Structure 1
Amino acid sequence: MTRAVSRKRLITQEKIVFAIFVLLFLGFSLFLPGFLTANNVALLLQSVSVLGILSVAMGATIIAGAIDLSMVALMAMSVAWALQLVNNGMPVPLAMLIGGGSAILVGIINGVLVAYVEIPPLFATLATAACIYGFGRFGLISQDTVYLPKNLGWIAELGHGRVYGLPMPVIVFAVLAAAIALVMNYTKFGRFAYAIGDNRATARITGVPVRPVLVLQYTVSAIVAFIAGLVQATAINSMNTRITDTLLIYEVILVVVLGGIGLSGGKGGIRNVVVGTLLIGTFLNGMTIMNIQFTAQNAIKGLILLTAIAIDQVINPRDEQTSQQGDI
């Protein structure tokens, strides 16, 4: 019995996904012309980095038994507003403070709506995403695409810089993933987040400050989204607010679920997110090189996401307490 359990644990979703990534990368490298080139690898690393940064924050939020669908809208609008303020003559530090502060404010609002008003996270963050985009385009940002100012200084290096030949977006992704992994695994906040995701009622009874932890979790998610937006904008020299209308948020959820973090909460870790990011980033890049139509790509991504959620439901079934919370 013990040997059977031990063998079962040797094969995990994380290891399966990593093995698929290795096989996919080798297959594309051997049989897909243009995949293993310097330009494409640089493009792959850039796209993987932004997707990974967002997925790290989403993964930590889902571990705590919640979800944040406002992340992409928050990333686009807060950074676009900050860049527009700089283009209009505002000093860079003040503009970044305003943009980052607006992101933090939205994160706090999300946390309050979920933790204190007790609106299910799915609906609360979906509504705030619509409000962010609508209010931002109506009252703050004058055009769909805001171009990068020339006087951003060191901030511009987030997208274009290199350290020992390694692109800065990859370094930002690695640093954020490592930092959040340390927080989730070795701090009281991380233990509280896992306890809340596993069983919110039990966590509250045992003295876990459920509501403040959730508010802080959404605040951290907002900060990470702002950083991801800066990396994205400095890498392509602009921020297109229309990214809110894309399927990027679903790609983020796909990375998290496929990597092995259960939607029921309290399971998985940041390493799962890294593995999921590598697989999905490579897969999306390969589909682009093969000139698969955008609509077909969306259909494939939707099918994979649906399959991943179905598998997650079998592997991590929602118990009665999770169902009562209405988190997902």
Structure 2
Amino acid sequence: MNKTLGIFGLLIFVCLFTALFNPAFVSEANLFNITRQTAQYGILSLGVAFVIITGGIDLSIGSVVGLGASLLLLMISDWNIPPSIAIPCVIAVCALIGLVHGLLITRVNLQPFVVTLCGLLVYRGAARWISDDRPLGLGTDYESIRLLGSGAPFSYTTLAIGASVVAILFGLYHALVLHGAQASSEADATTTKSPKDSPSVALLQRWSWLLVGVLLLAFAFISPSSETKKASVKSATANLEASTDMDAAAAKASNTPVIKIKKDRVKNKITLEQRVSRPAFILPAAVFLPTFLTMIVGGWTSKRKVILKPMIASLLAAGFLVAGVLFLLPVYQSVIPGDLFSLGFADVSGRLVAGLIMVSLFAILASAVGAAIWLLSAAASCSPLGKALLPLTGFAGLLTLLSMTSLMSSMVPAPMLIMIALAVVSSVVLNCTVFGRYLKALGHSEEAARYSGINTKNTTMLAYVFCSTAAGLGGVLFALQINSVQASVFGNFYELYAIAAAVLGGCSLRGGDGNIIGVVIGAAIIQVLYNSITVLRIGDKLEFAIVGMVILCGVMVDEIVRNLVAKRALLKRDSNPDGPPAEAAGG
């Protein structure tokens, strides 16, 4: 739970930082592109997550994507095979590739690194050979099947309504069935020093998911439609252009240079203000603030020493953040890269000043997000009431942030629906089936799993089959969306993005540990980072370095937190040798 909360905090931080400097980041078009890319790469990441959980690796994902995409377009355009037959055939070929990987690893006892590295070269060469190294595409034909990769069937508002219905049904099942079956054990677990809190805590735990579903349903209904927001933004843009034209005319008359960068920044600022819907903002904020304060008060009452440090850190970070937004951000918006600032002993360019301000706000915002997550986690661990309020509080906070964007009025990419379905199935398989337990046991210790009666060879083969099948599905979606495939380069480095997303999302390269929600969030972080580099005009030359550093920092922080939790559990066990054994830190 803490690991997922931390990686989700990293995603929120990157989004907030980018939107702070360029509100165009939260526009409908940009959010649509980000979510579509997240879905496509997320499918690849879900596949490789199963392999990583077993302790293996798959370096051939990008080449399998290129081979699948090339084969699909060849079958449809050159061989005149109907798409309804071509798509299943391509996915079956990719599944067969995964089966070959599994057989070589389990029957011939080759290392996964060697097998998949050879596959990376073989499948790339095969794709270039069958396509004769020429560009492939469908042109303007087959528009209906291309909607599978580029279509947008409905808006996120409709998706939120559907998700809220599912959450309400699950909440009813949780309250009436699951909670009823575990009533006695939960009553023992939620006893506190104050007997009056026990009924309220039990009630919140029983109906928490139902409350989340009701909140999401209400939020979806009061969120403005796409047409409403477009009209609002269009009106604001027209008013802004009229005012800036008048300012430009006045500046021209007084021989004052007109700087386009300032005009763009002011335009972005006003557009962001128009995107915020007051009812959609007030509702989740009205839920978040009282529940969050209740968590803090409950933690302060129960364990004052535990919550004191994160509370002080959060207050300091919030103060610095307010000061940065009020004083540093306006300076950044007014600075022109060509300006020179005299410091007495040297002249400093406006580009350097803007860069220093950006770095300063980066550190301030990172501290604020980290402190807020620390405080939320500490408040949830201090009292049963805080733990019961955590789902509702966290979800209300997320909806509050979403109300400041155009996500609810933007369209849902078709690949996003496929990724959601695949993620749900993957989560159920990993957490609720015997096969999922076998995967984790295999990753922790293959020898111990074999002695326990697990068929480790078949389990490993199925993991590689699923990984290659997901890569084939991803290749199909990429080909249909881009509608142009060059076999020599299509899919290059995709395996690195998929592996990075899985590791960033909580999959341990040592095996035995993985979280489907974390993998999806990790894929989103990778795509948001690339988009942020473009939106903030940092430069394409640094994109690989920035993404690599962020991933490295994320993995380092995860490992440091893991070690700290392990040491804390060990100290707790040593201080209370007669008590129950401490939980494993890496779980």
- Quick check: 1:130 aligned with 2:121? yes
Deviation of residue 201 (structure 1)? 0.5
Which residue of 2 is the match for residue 278 of structure 1? 524
Greater C-alpha Rg = 2
Alpha-carbon distance change, 295 to 130 in structure 1, aligned in 2, over 3 angstroms: farther
CA distance in 2, matches of 1:209, 1:66: 16
CA distance in 1, matches of 2:490, 2:548: 17
Which residue of 2 is the match for residue 107 of structure 1? 98
Which residue of 2 is the match for residue 199 of structure 1? 445
Root-mean-square deviation (CA, aligned residues, Å) is 2.3
Contact 1:72 1:243 in 2 (8 A): no
* Mapping of residues 44-83 of structure 1, within 5 Å: 44-83=34-73
Alpha-carbon distance change, 131 to 310 in structure 1, aligned in 2, over 3 angstroms: farther
- Quick check: 1:296 aligned with 2:545? no
Alpha-carbon distance change, 193 to 144 in structure 1, aligned in 2, over 3 angstroms: farther
Contact 2:74 2:131 in 1 (8 A): yes
- Quick check: 1:232 aligned with 2:478? yes
Q: Write the deviation string for residues 201-230 of structure 1: whole angstroms up to 9, x where unpaired.
A: 000111111111111111111111111112
* Mapping of residues 157-168 of structure 1, within 5 Å: 157-165=147-155, 166-168=412-414
Pick the aligned partner of 2:131 from 111, 128, 141: 141
Deviation of residue 278 (structure 1)? 2.2
Which residue of 2 is the match for residue 4 of structure 1? none
* Mapping of residues 162-201 of structure 1, within 5 Å: 162-165=152-155, 166-201=412-447
Pick the aligned partner of 1:261 from 493, 507, 512: 507
- Partner of 2:513, secondary structure, is coil
- Quick check: 1:18 aligned with 2:41? no
Contact 1:264 1:316 in 2 (8 A): no
Which residue of 2 is the match for residue 241 of structure 1? 487
Contact 1:56 1:177 in 2 (8 A): yes
> After the TM superposition, which of the residue ranges 117-126 and 205-214 deviates more from structure 2?
117-126
CA distance in 2, matches of 1:308, 1:22: 14
- Partner of 2:100, secondary structure, is helix
Question: Structure 1: which amino acid aligns with 2:90?
Answer: G
Question: Structure 1: which amino acid aligns with 2:116?
Answer: T
Contact 2:65 2:491 in 1 (8 A): no
Deviation of residue 99 (structure 1)? 2.1
Question: Structure 1: which amino acid aligns with 2:95?
Answer: I
Which residue of 1 is the match for residue 381 of structure 2? none
- Partner of 2:418, secondary structure, is helix
- Partner of 1:170, secondary structure, is helix
- Quick check: 1:121 aligned with 2:112? yes
Which residue of 2 is the match for residue 326 of structure 1? none
Alpha-carbon distance change, 62 to 132 in structure 1, aligned in 2, over 3 angstroms: same
Deviation of residue 87 (structure 1)? 0.7
> After the TM superposition, which of the residue ranges 101-110 and 296-305 deviates more from structure 2?
296-305
Deviation of residue 291 (structure 1)? 3.3
Which residue of 2 is the match for residue 217 of structure 1? 463
Contact 2:442 2:449 in 1 (8 A): yes
Structure 2: runs of 5 or more not aligned: 156-411, 564-587
Contact 1:257 1:312 in 2 (8 A): no
CA distance in 1, matches of 2:134, 2:426: 32
CA distance in 1, matches of 2:501, 2:47: 12
Deviation of residue 194 (structure 1)? 1.0
CA distance in 1, matches of 2:556, 2:28: 37
Contact 2:505 2:515 in 1 (8 A): no
Contact 2:53 2:440 in 1 (8 A): yes
CA distance in 2, matches of 1:217, 1:155: 29
Alpha-carbon distance change, 291 to 272 in structure 1, aligned in 2, over 3 angstroms: same
Structure 1: runs of 5 or more not aligned: 1-9, 318-328
Question: Structure 2: which amino acid aligns with 1:116?
Answer: R
> After the TM superposition, which of the residue ranges 92-101 and 181-190 deviates more from structure 2?
92-101
Contact 2:66 2:491 in 1 (8 A): no
Q: Write the deviation string for residues 109-151 of structure 1: whole angstroms up to 9, x where unpaired.
A: 111121122222122111111110012212x112353213655
Deviation of residue 313 (structure 1)? 6.1
Alpha-carbon distance change, 219 to 315 in structure 1, aligned in 2, over 3 angstroms: farther
Question: Structure 2: which amino acid aligns with 1:285?
Answer: N
- Partner of 2:485, secondary structure, is strand
